[in-house]
Amino acid sequence: MKKEKVLLIWSFGTSDIYLDGKLIRDNFLSKTKDIAKNFDTYYNEKRINMSILENFVNEFYNNKEIIIKGIFTDQNGFEQDTIYLQTILMKYIQKGSISSKIKSAREHIILDEARRFDIIKNKLDSYLKNIPTNIFEEIMINNTSGTKGLSSALLFSSLLNFELGKLSFYYGEQIDKDTLFMKQSNIIYFVHKQNIDNFLENKDFESCISYLQNNNLISSFKKEFDYSKYMFARINADYDKCKEIYKKGNLDSKFAITKNTVNKIQEMINGIIFTFDKKRFIEFLGRIYNFTDVGLRFFINKFFETDFESIKYKDLQDFVQKYPDLEKFLNNYKVRFNNKASFLNWNIKNSDHMIKEIGFINTKVMLSLLDFISTKNGEYKKYKDFFVRLEKLNEYRNNTLIAHGMNQVNEKIIFEKYGYDTIKTDFIDLLENIVGKNKLWIEF
């Protein structure tokens, strides 16, 4: 059976050869020069070994055909140059215990610079891009030796010049094997994972979807892909799409879609916070406008212990039966619109509303109801004040692109119309009071 071919690129350093059982700490260049010149004597007397390379080959690539390309340094006599390890390596492979498992390539690379990243990377780029990688099933980079400049340059050059699906990295024997020997989950995975985590942390779901698709990473990050698609659909209220993605089974039960008033408020506030964080202020105002009616109705229903999906004028009869003084309160209530004050000017007993069962109360009337409620229960006053501030934003919205005008929208204007710069935290506090803690978003 034909063995799979593996390309092993090994950056050689002073730790890759042992003399008399010890690393060569002093006079490395002159001693390796002597070993290269008198190799047979040193080898036959068992004075030298390249145990790191041998152990690596025996443990990880015992049944594969390995071609090794070495990276060596020659900096005009620098004491730690590895130039003579090239000769030692080639002879050691011929005679050593791994001679049947590994072959030396015809060409190795010798660097005359081992510290400057830019120079090293340019030289490595020129060397690596000419390697015919199509004949190899895997490309393994040994990054255990050499200077920081060399190690960094080799990492970047490998990422740029080799097919990522074939590429793995080896980081030495001094730490746990599963951590250092990244064969299946190699460094490429971690680079992508970091980028994906940043997208998710910033709730940039659309970019995450594109990133996974463009880099052919969907199979490696199925859960992240489904989560991003799910949340993108959920932001846009595409609940059928959410259900479809959920049924695939990559997301846990907290992503199931349920419908009730509290969840509706949760969805709306999450969308409001999302668009505010993304500085999508036109959409932000539109979402606030839609939320105002739902939010007011929630507190009205809660206080009067009703469950109206919409409140008509005729429904006020139920409220008056529970609180007779409500009728006088409403008939004497003044509302403001475009800085002008006026009475509501309607009669709660209007027969037209009762007979036709039409005529939904508007936001101004609901605000007056919430004001009445706050006189009965002081806990509601903070909600009434909150919705009064939102109504000022709704009035401004009427003259923006999302409604009927061309008024500009930015964060400064939103704070100015709202009256405070706390609108985001106010929404968060509101949601926590309604739904409970830790309900701000469905986290991955």
Res 178: pLDDT: 46
* Residue 212 clears pLDDT 80, i.e. is over it: yes
Res 372: pLDDT: 95
3-state percent helix, strand, coil for the chain, nearest multiple of 5? 55, 10, 35
For the record, the structure tokens of 301 come out as 């229903």
What average pLDDT does this structure show over 365-386?
A: 94
Res 189: pLDDT: 73
Q: What would the pLDDT profile of 103-137 be if each residue is shown by its tens digit?
A: 887 788 999 988 888 888 899 999 998 888 888 88
* Residue 363 clears pLDDT 60, i.e. is over it: yes
The model's confidence at residue 66, banded by pLDDT at 50, 70 and 90, is confident
d(CA 97, CA 18): 16
Residue 126: how many CB atoms within 10 A of its CB?
Answer: 12
* Residue 175 clears pLDDT 50, i.e. is over it: no
Query: Domain segments of the chain: what residues?
Result: 5-179, 190-255, 261-434
Res 291: pLDDT: 95
Is 5-179 a domain of CATH 3.60.15?
no
**Is the separation of the CB atoms in 303 and 377 below 8 Å?**
yes
DSSP designation for 6: E
Bridge partners, residue 69, by sequence? 9
**176 or 240, which is more confident:** 240
d(CA 135, CA 17): 30
Instruction: Give the predicted TM-score (pTM) of the model.
Output: 0.59
Helix (H) or strand (E) holding 48: strand 48-49
The model's confidence at residue 261, banded by pLDDT at 50, 70 and 90, is low
